[in-house]
């Protein structure tokens, strides 16, 4: 990954989009708390695994949402501004990480 990606970058998101992301993450947080309760309550292993699968799917949806917005806005803007090669390289590195998960 490039050195620039190691720096803290700030991306202004529209309030509606930010609220939607935060609400999704709060739901996931609730699912994780539920998972903890399931383990503390000695719930059946398969039930716990189903909940883990649901949490993973929810996180993946958040990731794909962010990736889509990043592609439509950040990468597109970089290409328009002549910085496309770096943005595309960064995007490919993200795809590589996704393929490993």
The pTM of this model reads: 0.77
Calculate mean pLDDT across residues 60-74.
91
Q: Which residues contact 2 (CB under 8 A, 6 or more apart)?
A: 86, 89, 90
Q: Is 81 helix (H, G, I), strand (E, B) or coil?
A: coil
Range of the domain at 55: 16-100
CATH number, position 49: 1.20.58.1000
Domain count, the chain: 1
Q: Does residue 10 form part of some domain? A: no
* pLDDT confidence of residue 8: 75
Calculate mean pLDDT across residues 36-57.
98
Q: Does residue 93 form part of some domain? A: yes
Look at residue 4 and tell me whether its pLDDT is greater than 80: no
Start-to-end C-alpha separation, the chain: 17
* pLDDT confidence of residue 2: 46
Q: Which residues contact 30 (CB under 8 A, 6 or more apart)?
A: none
């Amino acid at each position: 990954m490039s050195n620039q990606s190691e720096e803290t970058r700030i991306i202004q998101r529209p309030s509606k989009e930010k609220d939607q992301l935060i609400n999704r993450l709060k739901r996931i947080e609730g699912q994780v708390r539920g998972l903890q309760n399931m383990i503390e309550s000695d719930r059946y292993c398969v039930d716990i695994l189903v909940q883990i699968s649901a949490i993973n799917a929810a996180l993946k949806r958040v990731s794909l949402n962010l990736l889509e917005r990043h592609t439509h806005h950040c990468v597109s803007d970089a290409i328009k501004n002549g910085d496309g090669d770096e943005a595309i390289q960064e995007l490919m590195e993200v795809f590589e990480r996704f393929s490993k998960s």
